[in-house]
Amino acid sequence: MSEGKISRRKYLKYAGAAVAAGAAAAAGYGLSQYYKPPTPTAPTPTTPTGVKKKVRVGGTKPFTGAEALPGKSEGDANKLWAKMVNEAGGIRAGDGNTYEVELILYNDEDRPENVGRLYEKLIVEDKVDFLFGPVYGPLGMATVPIVEKYKKLEVYGTCSFNPKDYRDWKYIVHTITNGPSYMEAILDMIWERVVPNDPEAKNIAVTHGDDAFRQTAGSYGYEYAKKKGFNVVFYETYHSAITDFAPLLAKVKAAQPTIYLNAGVYTDAIQIIKQMRELDFNVKLVWAGTGTVFPSFYESLGKNAEGCITCTQWEKGIVYQQDYGPSHDEFLAAFQREYGYQPDYHAATGFQQGLVLQRAMELCDDPLNSDAMRKVAGEIEMTTFYGKYKVDPVTGWQIGHKMGVVQWQNGEKAVVWPMLTGVKDLVYPIKKWSER
Amino acid sequence: MSRMNRESMLVVDNVTKRFGGLRALNKVNVEVKRGEILGLIGPNGSGKTTLFNVIMGFYHPEEGRVLLQGEDITDLKPHQIARRGVGRTFQIVRPFGDMTVLENILVSGLFSVPRGGEHRKIEDRCHEILKITNLTERINDPADELSIAEKRRLEIARALALDPQLLLLDETMAGLTHAEVDQALQMISGIRKEFGLTMIVVEHVMRAIMSISDRIVVLSEGRKIAEGTPKEVSENEQVLTAYLGHRKGS
Amino acid sequence: MRGIGFNSLTMSLGFLILIGIYGMVADTATTSYLHAMVELMILAYSLNLFTGLSGYANFGHVVFYGLGAYTVSVSAVGLSSMGMSLPTPVYVLGAGVFAAIFALVIGFPILRLRGDYFAIATLGINEAVRVTICNTKELGEGRGIYILGLVPSYDIKMLYIQLLLVAFAVVVTTHIVLKTKLGYGLRAIRADEDVAEIMGVNTSKYKIMAYALGAFFAGLAGGVVTLQFACSFPEYLFIGRSVDMFSAIIIGGIGTLLGPLIGSVIFWIVKDALLIQFPYFHLIIFGVALIVLILFFPRGIVGLANRVLAKRGKVLE
Amino acid sequence: MAFELLAQTIINGLFIGFLFGLAGMGLTLIFGIMRILNFAHGAIIMLGAYTAFWIFILYSINPLVAILIGTVAGLIFGVVLYMILVNRLVRAPALASLLALFGVSMILENSMLNLWSPNPRSIPVDYPTISYGLVTISGSRVLVSIVAIAASVLLLATLKWTRFGRMIRATVQDSRAATLMGVDVNKVYALGFSIGIALAFLAGGLLALIYPFEPFGGLQYALYSFVVVVLGTLGNPAGCLFAGLIIGLIHSITGSYWTLNMSPAVAYLILVLTFLLRPGGIMAGRE
């Protein structure tokens, strides 16, 4: 260690500068136009009118790590909801008081060891009244014991559970259609809109990744398809981190399905379409994965994305007649104004989390008591911009919300299911790769 | 113990060791009697260190056997041989750098007694060894901070801590000044008297090897070319050619 | 022998008692904070027992934590189908034993490797186990295994006590190992493995023993985490956790008794504060701090302290 | 039918194999010279992908040119990284240098996240595909393989014939001896390290042509590169090319004939098996 040793002091000065420069550069860069970090979580207090009370809502999202994309958009939507509620003067609860919302979100890095500590901090130190669940399934399940112990109502966002793992938990409510029924919307759409005039469409191939979400969506979709009367010519699971699908697609191609459905995430979706094109594997309709909803899906694939369909919890263009909360267009405009990018279904779900809490407080006569709130949240039925909300009062399982289906049609996501006003025609069959 | 010659400590019986095509040791036969100091000399690359490694079980010979007090140790692992009382030093010093001098010695001390005698007794023996190799005042300094001569003595101390019956000294005098060589010679004979050890000493400092060895074996290109008392060997024609190369006209 | 050893042990056990009492009296949020810190400390000590002493870089040590976690959930589900269940300490102990057995089985082949080959092999094993779990129906595939209701309901104080007991055990074990043949043998292996073999150290046996011992304590920590969340899922085997343990022992002082303790306390406090203050930038700042620290104190805080104390003849173990 | 599937599998395997080989080369070169395992390898490959992507998007030039410019940027980044950190790591204890490089990957990954958002991206460009019966070969993969082979051959040629190449090989054999022979080892470290990083940038750029990438996507490529590097013997670039093909084939064959989700596990098991049979890696001894 001796020869060429720089004197400690000189190195100290040098390293100190590097540290400061590194952190400053990162922070400065971070504020670049494309990606604006969130404003401080606590919204600006509004002018107090009459007796104001406070309701504290806490939660964790994976702001960094592999799940950063859904983490950021769901987190942004939670904050937008809190801001809009406070700007409108707070929540006029069933007990006559109005409640200003204070939202506290932490970064759980999608890692289990952070969840225990952060939820205890939220419940005990920050004294939150209600909780928004984390984004990722297993982590969501990890919060169940804590929530059940401290009897705090927890409203879950895009975190999908599997019914088999349900144990009699009493403080949990879901907003999204859970994993199992993801593919139902697509299969229903094909059954209603395609099979009548093309019986061939019954021959489908189903594949899915092996992590929590894709496993649930894919395997239940497979069962539902068989029950519905589809003839599943090929069915297989693939490793969730795999990026090369050529071997899998070669086998699917060999099974010659009319329609190919893959329960995958964003990277799967792009890769499968690219490699279907490479292998010149043509089908009349393809679902490559839920990632199809993201604008960058179309950016990355260009014209190859045309005709791709996907189920989605929510999509711009699915216009429900809402009987509560902002309308479809109001939500879009508010989100675009606040964050400058298009909201995806993670964002919409994040906003719905807020609406469920808000509606329950309005109808509950003891709005800060989790038991009373859970009872009300279990019974309310409403339709918001996000779609129908109705849960099984005992399990908190979402049974009302139905998925929509969208299809990329010349650069735009056209809503092709459910059959509401303004639904577009389905492009079927999609063009062959060679004709694009 | 050994049915054969009672006082033979170590027998290297017809050992051959090959590395790819190179024959490092070629049918070498060496015998060391109990309490004897055997000098092992030969030009560089003659197989001296390879022989040490074969004895220690580090290399496995293609042919031949190594017997320690009659027991065949050819197939044993180095630590098993060490525990049977064979200590060794290294040509290039290899102390346990970040451990203190005492800890260096404690390592072999702890593993010497088969059942691992209790700490206290071993520690006393180590202190005694430190005295003999006069390293006592450096007892708690990390081995890295020692001088070359001190590190050489630490190697010997570490080997002694194994409570050995056979000591293999690999060029412990290399690079020492004249005075330091005399000091080392004195120490080695002191150790011999104190512990009654059998030793094989490899050395290039002729003055030292000639004065300390009872018998000398000469290796060249992996073969034993001469054996005998220091006097006989120093006059042996073949030894001179091996060392000095062919004399003009001879 | 200089007056060392003894006070390092009392210092670490004393510290554990201190945070133990504080954790029990304070509110559950603090208990949970300390619980997470002690869990990291146990993992750091378990890694230190092997990597710290023998110098073999084990980047897949989290596999034992994960296996311990899965042992508890698999056995809980298995037993409940037969209408039985065990007290939690037995589950946790079972987790440790299984992890140690796995280490013994996998240890023989990979411990024949050295240095960087070994580091990569441990990464490979961790990934291979995680992928296999993700693809085995009985192990719950990606979804994980849920045992809510099969184990006592969530009580952070009880969990904290169990974790503290494990922490006591690993600290005392480290102290004993450092004072006995195993410790000297491993430190000799770290300094120069070939010479250690020639000095009588049965290197292959000692490496396996240390590997299994480290695995045992990591398995115990895994067992407790499954009780805490009442479920175990593949994310427990995330490589990032191995890096955390590694950073903790490097910051604290590798191969020492106090090192893992100091390292994990500093690591946890800094990381947690950064995580909450800078949800987006915390890892950038942490990365820079880690590098500067490694370049400045390669021997860690204890190494630095020893350099200072050495003048007065005292050395922190 | 079975023949087409086999042919398609082998073709796919070879194509990815060249990419795995190239990714491994950068890693093994750095290890060969400096005995340091670059644990930031995955993050650096992703940085290479982003660099090529942004050059392509901002200047909308031919993707290959963008990738080559990206590689040069990689060289510069390598030199900077060497000057700031890595030259001090050479003397630090082995465990510390491994961890410091993990620190680098933390900084890179999270900076990419904050700069360019977590959205996965890919260079949207399509090359014509050639197909015989059911077996099709995609243009972009052929291109990637050609560039990967060219880069590998170029590297092996420089190592074999140029003076600088000999200096690197001398340092790989024994850095102390090399210094005695008048080799400025520090210069070799600096340039050798940056060539290794440049290769990682090139691999990242090529990868962006055929796969989507995102800030935290590097881990999987890093793990595969480690397997390739060890199979081909640490420090032996030629071995890497050969080992890359083997891993590519294993990945593809497992995918086709078993299920795709066991491909990584099979690769890691092959890795552990190689350790047992040939601790030095398959090319051990045959430099």
- Domain spans of chain D? 2-123+130-286
The answer to whether residue A274 neighbours chain D at the CB level (below 8 Å) is: yes
Query: Is C215 within the bounds of a domain?
Result: yes
Q: Is the pLDDT of residue A48 over 90?
A: no
How does strand A91-92 pair with strand A98-107?
A: antiparallel
CB–CB of C191 and B96 under 8 A? yes
**Cβ A318 vs Cβ A383: under 8 Å:** no
The pLDDT assigned to C42 comes to: 96
pLDDT tens track, chain B, 250 positions: 334 445 788 999 999 998 888 888 888 899 998 888 999 888 888 888 889 999 998 889 989 999 988 889 998 999 999 988 898 888 888 899 888 898 899 888 888 765 545 666 788 888 888 888 888 888 888 888 888 888 888 998 999 888 888 999 988 888 778 888 888 888 888 888 888 889 999 888 888 888 888 899 888 888 888 888 888 887 887 777 766 665 554 4
Report the alpha-carbon distance of residue B153 to residue B161 in Å, rounded.
12
Nearest partner of A80 among A327, A295, A348, A362, judged by Cα: A348
The pLDDT assigned to A238 comes to: 83
Token pair 């949990």 is at which residue? A172
Report the alpha-carbon distance of residue C287 to residue D103 in Å, rounded.
4
**Cβ B159 vs Cβ B86: under 8 Å:** no
Q: Is the pLDDT of residue D59 over 60?
A: yes
* pTM for this predicted structure: 0.85
Q: How far is B175 from chain C, CA to nearest CA, in Å?
A: 22
Total number of domains constituting chain C: 1
The pLDDT assigned to D76 comes to: 95
The pLDDT assigned to C29 comes to: 92
Structure-derived torsion over alpha carbons of residues C159, C160, C161, C166, reported in degrees to the nearest 10: 90
Q: How far is A300 from chain D, CA to nearest CA, in Å?
A: 5
Report the alpha-carbon distance of residue B85 to residue B195 in Å, rounded.
12
Orientation of helix B119-132 relative to helix B148-160, angle to 10°: 140
Residues of chain C with pLDDT under 50: 1-5
Query: Is C317 within the bounds of a domain?
Result: no
Hey, CA dihedral for A19, A20, A21, A24, is it positive or negative? Answer: positive
Hey, CA dihedral for C68, C73, C76, C82, is it positive or negative? Answer: negative
**Cβ C9 vs Cβ C171: under 8 Å:** yes
Report the alpha-carbon distance of residue C146 to residue A207 in Å, rounded.
25
Q: Is the pLDDT of residue A247 over 90?
A: no
**Cβ C125 vs Cβ C62: under 8 Å:** no
**Cβ C207 vs Cβ C56: under 8 Å:** yes
The pLDDT assigned to C15 comes to: 93
Which residue segments constitute the domains of chain A, with CATH numbers given?
Answer: 13-177+319-389 (3.40.50.2300), 181-312+404-435 (3.40.50.2300)
H or E stretch at A263: strand A259-263
Sorting pLDDT into bands at 50, 70 and 90, what band is A158? confident
Protein fold of B1-85+164-250: Rossmann fold (3.40.50)
The pLDDT assigned to C313 comes to: 62
The pLDDT assigned to B136 comes to: 86
pLDDT digit string, tens, across residues A263-298: 887 778 888 888 888 788 899 999 988 878 777 778
Write the CATH number for C45.
1.10.3470
Report the alpha-carbon distance of residue B167 to residue B189 in Å, rounded.
13
Alpha-carbon B126 to chain mean position = 20
Report the alpha-carbon distance of residue A295 to residue A302 in Å, rounded.
11
Q: Which chains lie within 8 Å of chain C at 3 or more CB pairs, if any? A: A, B, D
Report the alpha-carbon distance of residue C173 to residue C189 in Å, rounded.
19
Query: Is C130 within the bounds of a domain?
Result: yes
Q: Is the pLDDT of residue A30 over 70?
A: no
Structure tokens belonging to residue D103? 């620190």
* Mutation site, C102, C126, C283, interface D, largest D CB count within 10 A: C283
Q: Dmax of chain C from CA atoms?
A: 64
Q: What is the DSSP letter of A99?
A: E
Nearest partner of C103 among C185, C211, C210, C5, judged by Cα: C211
Q: Which chains lie within 8 Å of chain D at 3 or more CB pairs, if any? A: A, C
Report the alpha-carbon distance of residue B85 to residue A56 in Å, rounded.
75
The runs of H, that is alpha helices, within chain D are 2-34, 41-59, 63-81, 87-89, 94-116, 139-161, 163-173, 175-180, 185-210, 218-231, 237-257, 263-277
Weakest mean pLDDT among A15-19, A121-125, C21-25, C281-285:
A15-19
Report the alpha-carbon distance of residue A355 to residue A131 in Å, rounded.
13
pLDDT digit string, tens, across residues D21-42: 998 998 988 888 888 889 899 9
First to last CA, chain C: 12
Nearest partner of D267 among D245, D244, D280, D250, judged by Cα: D250
The pLDDT assigned to B176 comes to: 79
Please enumerate in sequence order all residues whose Cβ is within 8 A of that of A145, keeping only pairs 6 or more positions apart, or say none: C148, C153, C154, C228, C229, C230
Q: Is the pLDDT of residue A13 over 60?
A: no
Q: Is the pLDDT of residue A384 over 70?
A: yes
**Cβ A378 vs Cβ A173: under 8 Å:** yes
Instruction: Compute the radius of gyration of chain C from its Cα atoms.
Output: 19
CB–CB of D259 and A237 under 8 A? yes
Orientation of helix A345-363 relative to helix A328-339, angle to 10°: 120
Q: Which of residues 75-114 of C touch D (CB under 8 A)?
A: 109-110, 112-113
* Coil, strand or helix at A126: coil
Give the number of beta-carbon pairs within 8 Å between A and C.
143
| A300: nearest CA partner in chain D | D124
Q: Is the pLDDT of residue A408 over 80?
A: yes
Q: Dmax of chain A from CA atoms?
A: 82
Q: Which long-range contacts (CB under 8 A, 24 or more apart) does C134-140 make?
A: C134/A210, C134/A211, C134/A239, C134/A240, C134/C234, C134/D261, C135/A210, C135/A237, C135/A239, C135/D259, C135/D261, C135/D262, C135/D265, C138/C74, C139/C70, C139/C74, C140/C73, C140/C233
Q: How far is C33 from chain D, CA to nearest CA, in Å?
A: 24
Name the interface residues of C facing B (CB cutoff 8 Å): 1-2, 181, 184-185, 187-188, 190-192, 194-203, 313
The pLDDT assigned to D287 comes to: 32
Please enumerate in sequence order all residues whose Cβ is within 8 A of that of A173, keeping only pairs 6 or more positions apart, or say none: A153, A154, A155, A156, A356, A374, A377, A378, A391, A396
Report the alpha-carbon distance of residue B53 to residue C19 in Å, rounded.
53
CB–CB of B94 and C192 under 8 A? yes
- CATH for D2-123+130-286 is 1.10.3470
| A127 φ/ψ angles, rounded to the nearest 5 degrees | 50, 50
Structure tokens belonging to residue C240? 């990032």
Q: How far is C191 from chain B, CA to nearest CA, in Å?
A: 5
Q: Which long-range contacts (CB under 8 A, 24 or more apart) does C128-131 make?
A: C128/D264, C128/D265, C128/D268, C128/D269, C128/D272, C129/C63, C129/C66, C129/C67, C129/C237, C130/C63, C130/C66, C130/C234, C130/C237, C131/A239, C131/D261, C131/D262, C131/D264, C131/D265, C131/D268
Chain D residue numbers with beta carbons less than 8 Å from the beta carbon of C109 are 272, 275-276
Among candidates C125, C283, C294 on the partner chain, residue whose Cβ is nearest the Cβ of D110: C283
> Within 13 Å of residue D92, how many CA atoms lie on the same side as its CB?
24
Chain D residue numbers with beta carbons less than 8 Å from the beta carbon of A66 are 214, 216
CB–CB of C143 and A212 under 8 A? yes
Chain A residue numbers with beta carbons less than 8 Å from the beta carbon of D1 are 254
Q: Which of residues 126-165 of A touch C (CB under 8 A)?
A: 137-139, 141-142, 144-146, 148-149, 162, 165
Instruction: Tell me the pLDDT of chain A averaged across its residues.
Output: 83
The residue type at D283? M
The pLDDT assigned to A14 comes to: 52
